[in-house]
Each structure stands twice: as structure tokens, then as C-alpha cells.
């Protein structure tokens, strides 16, 4: 039975799609059957950052009742399975977001983890994704607007019965105006599971349609995402700049 984990935020652009894709690839590389589903059916991006656009059957077709979800599962990088949302405007008009939970039910026996890349905000498709999940990761940037918006999402998600797995602080720089991890934990009343630095490798990888954890597993953002995957999978992954930990992790990657 899969754990359904929604990657959510309040504000847009905090890094949900980047984290969903790379976390999914990292879990798959650790040998865990993982499906990443693009639940952002209005502004689908997952297939773009993975270089998988133009697939024939997508979640749009499934939510429109035109196809079975098994037809919309594709093999992605590192062995992760991807359910793309589809980018056609006509397809979007026909898709019924209320079917998402029923679609997920059909996937529960197919994987250990189902990662849902949620839309920003609290419109219907975001609510449906949170309601269909057991757990959620709250992705914030270290700015006050991002954190206050995330608080609203957390409140609604918990009302819908999802449990907060933890907070992911993304795009962290060393600027003194940024809100510190301790303050974020206090405001959002939860634990920060990962601090992902601002890293130019992330955008480079996206521009090439490749997950950064595969394109450059040693860069700082990849290391933070790989450690996050280890925490979620319950695998001790000690990623260190020097010493054996990171080398050990890389060897896991090479073996697969
Ligand atoms: N750690 C990082 N370092 C540098 N750039 C990043 C980082 N994380 C994300 N980005 C960039 O930030 C932009 C937004 O990321 P992404 O699309 O993952 O956010 P999102 O939360 O899914 O956005 P939306 O709310 O629109 O769905 C992208 O250009 C991405 O490459
Ligand atoms: Mg997104």
C-alpha cells in the first residue's frame, strides 16, 4: 500500500515541482517503487522539467474518463514512474479534478510512494490533492509571505486529514534578511526536514529536461534532496562534503 505524499505550498514558485521530480527520482534510485503524479493540472510543469512532454495519454485524459490511469504511467529517469498532467487547454476543459482520489486508489498497489506535485494556492485542484493524500511536505522559501501562505495550507491540509511530514525550506541563501530555520519551525509548528540552497544547477538541469539529482548528484541542492529522500524512506543517508558517506550514497546510484 503506497504512502501518498503531497508536495504542497501556499505561495507559487517555491519549488514544489522541482522537489517532487527529484525526490521521486532519488527514492526510485534507492530501490523504492515510486510514482510521481502531476496534480497541477492547470499549469502542468512536471513533464517539462523531466523532458517528457508530448506523451499521448495524460492525467487530463484519465480525469476526463477517456483513459485508464494505467495508460498514463510512463517510465521516467532513474526508474521513477511518472503520471504527467498534460498541457492541452481542451484536455483541461474536459478534466474533472474530483476524480483524482479515485484515480489514486487504483495506483495504491503499484508503488511504495506516490508523490503528488500539487498546485500552489488553495483553489479546488490544490484542495483535491491535499484531501487525497495521507501526508504532505510543506515547501517554503525563507520569506515571510511564503511562510504565512504556507500556514494557511497547513491548516486546511490538516483539516482534510493529512499529516504534515515536515517542512522543506528551498532556495536558501546566506542573506541576513532570510527567516531562520528555528523561526520557520516555530511559525509553522513543525520540523524542517530539509534546507535546500539556492543552486544554479537546479535551473540548468531543468533547462536540459533532466533531474538535477541525476545530472549533478554532487551539487548542494542535489545533496539536500538526496538526504531528504533518505529521511522519508527511513534509510540512513549521511551526505557529507568529505569522507565516506556521500561516496557511499553515490555508489548506491551507480549500482542502479
Ligand atoms: N534550490 C533551487 N535553486 C535554484 N533555483 C530553484 C531551486 N528550486 C527551484 N528553483 C527554480 O525556481 C523556479 C520555480 O520552481 P518550481 O517550478 O519547482 O516551483 P513550483 O512551486 O512548482 O511552482 P508553481 O507554484 O508555479 O507550480 C524554477 O525555475 C526552478 O528551476
Ligand atoms: Mg509546480
**Which domains are seen in the chain, by residue range?**
3-255 (3.40.50.300)
Q: What is the mean pLDDT of the chain?
A: 92
Nearest residue (CA) to ligand 1, atom 29: 203
Atom of ligand 1 nearest to the CA of 13: 23
Substitution candidate for ligand 1 out of 202, 205, 225 with most atoms within 8 A of CB: 202
Q: What's the pLDDT at 254?
A: 43
Lowest-confidence segment of 9-18, 44-53, 76-85, 137-146 by average pLDDT = 44-53
- Cβ contacts of 2 within 8 Å, gap of 6 or more: 35, 107, 108, 109, 110, 111, 112, 113, 114
Residue 203 Cβ < 6 Å to ligand 1: yes
**Is residue 98 scored above 80 in pLDDT?**
yes
Is the pLDDT higher at 220 or at 90? 220
Atom of ligand 1 nearest to the CA of 9: 21
**Is residue 244 scored above 50 in pLDDT?**
no
Residue 9 Cβ < 6 Å to ligand 1: yes
Residue 199 Cβ < 6 Å to ligand 1: yes
Q: State the pLDDT confidence band at 148, using cuts at 50, 70 and 90.
A: very high
Nearest listed ligand to the Cα of residue 22: 1
Place of cell 483535491: 128
Q: State the pLDDT confidence band at 176, using cuts at 50, 70 and 90.
A: confident
Task: Tally Cβ neighbours within 10 Å of residue 254.
Answer: 9
Residue 181 Cβ < 6 Å to ligand 1: no
Atom of ligand 1 nearest to the CA of 205: 31
Q: Cα dist. 93→81, 87, 90 in Å?
A: 25, 11, 5
The pLDDT of 72-81, averaged and rounded, is 97
Q: State the pLDDT confidence band at 241, using cuts at 50, 70 and 90.
A: low
Among 183, 134, 139, 131, smallest CA distance to 156 is for 131
Q: State the pLDDT confidence band at 248, using cuts at 50, 70 and 90.
A: very low
The model's pTM is 0.92
SS3 (DSSP) at 116: strand
Amino acid at each position: 500500500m503506497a504512502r501518498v505524499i503531497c508536495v504542497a505550498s501556499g505561495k507559487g514558485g517555491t519549488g514544489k515541482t522541482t522537489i517532487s521530480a527529484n525526490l521521486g527520482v532519488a527514492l526510485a534510485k534507492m530501490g523504492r517503487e515510486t510514482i510521481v503524479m502531476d496534480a497541477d493540472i492547470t499549469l502542468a510543469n512536471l513533464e517539462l522539467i523531466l523532458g517528457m512532454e508530448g506523451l499521448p495519454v495524460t492525467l487530463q485524459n484519465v480525469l476526463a474518463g477517456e483513459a485508464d490511469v494505467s495508460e498514463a504511467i510512463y517510465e521516467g529517469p532513474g526508474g521513477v514512474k511518472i503520471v504527467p498532467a498534460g498541457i492541452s487547454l481542451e484536455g483541461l476543459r474536459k478534466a474533472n479534478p474530483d476524480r483524482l482520489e479515485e484515480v489514486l486508489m487504483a495506483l495504491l498497489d503499484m508503488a511504495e510512494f506516490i508523490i503528488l506535485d500539487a498546485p500552489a494556492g488553495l483553489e479546488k485542484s490544490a484542495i483535491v490533492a491535499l484531501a487525497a493524500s495521507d501526508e504532505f511536505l510543506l515547501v517554503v522559501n525563507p520569506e515571510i509571505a511564503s511562510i504565512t501562505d504556507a500556514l494557511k495550507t497547513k491548516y486546511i491540509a490538516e483539516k482534510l486529514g493529512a499529516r504534515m511530514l515536515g517542512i522543506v525550506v528551498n532556495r536558501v541563501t546566506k542573506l541576513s534578511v532570510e527567516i531562520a530555520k528555528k523561526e520557520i519551525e516555530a511559525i509553522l509548528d513543525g520540523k524542517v526536514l530539509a534546507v535546500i540552497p539556492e543552486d544554479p544547477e537546479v535551473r540548468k538541469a531543468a533547462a536540459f529536461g533532466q533531474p538535477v539529482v541525476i545530472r549533478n548528484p554532487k551539487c548542494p541542492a542535489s545533496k539536500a534532496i538526496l538526504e531528504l529522500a533518505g529521511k522519508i524512506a527511513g534509510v540512513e543517508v549521511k551526505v557529507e562534503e568529505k569522507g565516506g558517506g556521500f561516496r557511499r550514497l553515490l555508489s548506491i546510484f551507480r549500482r542502479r
